Amino acid sequence: MMGNKVAVVTFPGSNCDHDTVWALEQLDAEVVVVRHDARDLPACERVVLPGGFSYGDYLRAGALAAHAPIMDAVGRAVEREAVSVLGICNGFQILCERGILPGALWSNTSGEFVCRWEWVEVASPPAGWPEFSTGMRFRLPVAHGQGAFRVQEDGLAQIWAQGGPFLRYVDPTTSRSTGYSPNGSVDGIAGISRGRVIGLMPHPERAMHSVFGSVDGRRFLRMWLGGP
């Protein structure tokens, strides 16, 4: 696979970094782990901000990690369009807190930690990833306490004006993506993209083998590795 050197950033409190490294290595990616206090990214084509509870989720999930030294380097690389970035769960929260992606992730409206399998559907394929197509579905696990995507009304209108969100949750009772959400996300949004940056709440690295409950995470990550 061409262009598959991936930097996985680890923060104090990350607990999905090793899982993410393992998952990417299963797809023959060359992975290098980068600490939160690094000032520069290594030579790489892709960056993953993994799930976990960076800095204990103090203040807000991802709020402190968004200002870690390594995020300055990630921000510079994004501005130059030098890397593709994938933020998974806490990584999505960090990208929003940093302002690289719009919106914010709030506490689940149920007030409870949500941990279960969900179906998500591609509402708008991210630019540069022809492998993803509208209507494509993935069965992936979610595990978060602050996963309710929120954005101001004009921000939501802008997301739809630009093609729509990347992923939306699928209602298990109707099998349609009609605004259902396990956490209270506006418009049932499970993931968004902007340029070469993707953020999503579900965990593809936890769905790499049928014994785990689904192989859709393997399919998702393989598609992401094939993008820009």
Active site residues: 89, 203, 205
Per-residue HEC secondary structure of 74-142 comes to: HHHHHHCCCCEEEEECHHHHHHHHHCCCCCEEECCCCCCCEEEEEEEEECCCCCCCCCCCCCCEEEEEE
Close Cβ partners of 221 (under 8 Å, ≥ 6 residues apart): 23, 24, 27, 204, 205, 208
Instruction: Determine which helix (DSSP H) or strand (DSSP E) holds 10, and give its type and residue range.
Output: strand 5-10
How open is the CA angle 191-64-189, to the nearest 5 degrees?
15
Q: What does the angle CA 17 – CA 68 – CA 114 come to, to the nearest 5 degrees?
A: 45
> Token pair of 189, please?
């949004």
Q: How far is it, in rounded angstroms, from Cα 37 to Cα 65?
A: 10
Phi–psi pair at 52, nearest 5 degrees: 145, -155
Do the beta carbons of residue 36 and residue 12 sit within 8 Å?
yes
Task: Give the number of other CB atoms < 10 A from CB of residue 164.
Answer: 17
| 87 closest CA partner among 219, 183, 196 | 196
- The Cα–Cα gap between 52 and 128 comes to 28
